[in-house]
């Protein structure tokens, strides 16, 4: 009989951490912990048996690690998963591996693999847990092989000058970007700037992984960069990316917008001012409304706008906000975004 509560499975090889996470979740009456697993394989087995609504997952565990367990769960019974990881460069790589496998979000442990207290992460865990419980995770096959050569395509839009695609994405973004960016051929005639809501070390890991999967070049943006054909620049965590006159990128420490830094709205609005109708805005899966005002600015200068559809969005918050604002030209499924960009 359903209790109406969010049923949670905790997977961590540390008894202390399992207990601490359970006590933290007990602060929110909508959560009900239904299982405690001490390693990745047990987590997979209990996910199938207990059918939880949400899983919290450690990374470093004996046997199956966190990313391997996520991959197994997404294949056998897709379930919203939040990763716990140390806030280190290596922890960022590990976390992104799990996010690319289908985990919804992550929370960094305040003081390493076994944290003496979760006080510094408790509020974040509760908020992300509530949001993730309503997400729609799915097993993601490898990104499709590139079949198209853009060198053979013709286009009359825009008439001249460099073109830039601005992508705003949040929750569910790493897995979604792992489908979109590797599907683009190296011959694309536009530059791309991605604003993914993640901390600094994690955006570096995101760039590193996407670069290894892709034909196009992917790296973090730096002050002085200019968008160029075949180059994908990722906004560093905790920095806004703004485009100055002449198309030069500036990293700034302005106040958060929509609670985010980097913010897609900041980047898209500056791109609209500089690139005009040569700018293309894309909003993908994520919570909140970041990107809606940015797409509006691009529409005002006759640029093109795209939103990911509800069926393929892990969380339909950002795309829905843009669609509801009436600033989206085309609504497309995740795997159709590369071809939609090619046609533009």
Active-site residue, selected from the candidate residues 38, 87, 105, 197: 197
Q: Residue 94: enclosing H or E segment and its boundaries?
A: helix 89-101
How far, in Å, are 51, 82, 128, 130 from residue 7 at the CA level?
8, 14, 15, 11
Q: Residue 337: enclosing H or E segment and its boundaries?
A: helix 337-343
Q: How many helices and strands in the chain, by DSSP H and E?
A: 11, 14
DSSP 149: -
Of the candidates 91, 44, 42, 39, the residue with the CA atom closest to the CA atom of residue 65: 39
Residues 6+ apart with CB under 8 A from 151: 187
Active-site residue, selected from the candidate residues 170, 178, 270, 313: 170
How far, in Å, are 56, 84, 120, 138, 264 from residue 278 at the CA level?
43, 40, 44, 34, 17
DSSP 316: B
How far, in Å, are 24, 53, 259, 304 from residue 126 at the CA level?
8, 14, 17, 37
CA 138, CA 180: separation in Å to the nearest integer?
16
Of the candidates 78, 135, 181, the residue with the CA atom closest to the CA atom of residue 310: 135
User: For 258, how many CA atoms within 13 A lie in the half-sphere containing its CB?
Assistant: 23
290 catalytic? Reply is yes
Active-site residue, selected from the candidate residues 225, 290, 313, 336: 290
197 catalytic? Reply is yes
How far, in Å, are 5, 282, 343 from residue 74 at the CA level?
22, 26, 32
87 catalytic? Reply is no
106 forms bridges with which residues in the sheet? Answer: 83
Q: Are strands 6-11 and 31-37 parallel, antiparallel or unpaired?
A: parallel
Complete DSSP assignment for 216-264: SEEEE--TT----TTEEEEPPTT-EEEE-TTS-EEEE-PPPBTTBSS-H
> Annotated active-site positions, please?
170, 197, 290
């Amino acid at each position: 009989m359903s209790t109406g509560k969010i049923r949670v499975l905790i997977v961590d090889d540390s008894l202390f951490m399992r207990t601490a996470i359970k006590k933290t979740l007990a602060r929110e009456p909508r959560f009900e912990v239904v299982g405690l697993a001490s390693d990745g394989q047990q987590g997979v087995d209990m996910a199938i048996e207990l059918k939880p609504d949400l899983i919290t997952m450690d990374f470093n565990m004996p046997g199956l690690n966190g990313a391997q367990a996520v991959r197994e769960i997404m294949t056998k019974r897709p379930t919203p998963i939040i990763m716990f990881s140390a806030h280190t460069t290596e922890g960022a790589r590990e976390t992104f591996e799990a996010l690319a496998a289908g985990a919804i979000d992550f929370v960094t442990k305040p003081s390493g693999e076994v944290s003496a207290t979760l006080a510094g992460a408790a509020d974040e865990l509760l908020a992300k847990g509530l949001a993730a419980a309503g997400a729609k995770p799915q097993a993601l096959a490898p990104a499709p092989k590139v079949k198209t050569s853009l060198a053979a395509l013709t286009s009359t839009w825009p008439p001249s000058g460099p073109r830039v695609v601005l992508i705003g994405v949040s929750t569910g973004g790493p897995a979604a970007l792992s489908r979109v960016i590797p599907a683009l051929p190296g011959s694309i005639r536009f530059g791309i700037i991605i604003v993914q809501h993640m901390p600094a070390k994690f955006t570096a890991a995101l760039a590193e992984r996407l670069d290894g999967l892709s034909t196009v070049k992917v790296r973090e943006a730096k002050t002085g960069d200019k968008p160029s054909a075949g180059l994908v620049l990722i906004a560093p965590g905790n920095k806004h990316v703004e485009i100055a006159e002449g198309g030069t990128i500036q990293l700034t420490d302005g106040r958060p917008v929509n609670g985010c830094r980097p913010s897609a709205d900041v980047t898209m609005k500056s791109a609209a001012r500089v690139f005009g109708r040569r700018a293309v805005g894309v909003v993908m899966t994520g919570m909140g409304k970041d990107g809606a005002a940015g797409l509006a600015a691009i529409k005002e200068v006759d640029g093109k706008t795209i939103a990911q559809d509800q069926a393929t969005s892990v969380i339909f918050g950002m795309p829905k906000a843009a669609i509801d604002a009436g600033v989206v030209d085309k609504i497309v499924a995740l795997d159709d975004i590369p071809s939609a960009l090619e046609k533009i």
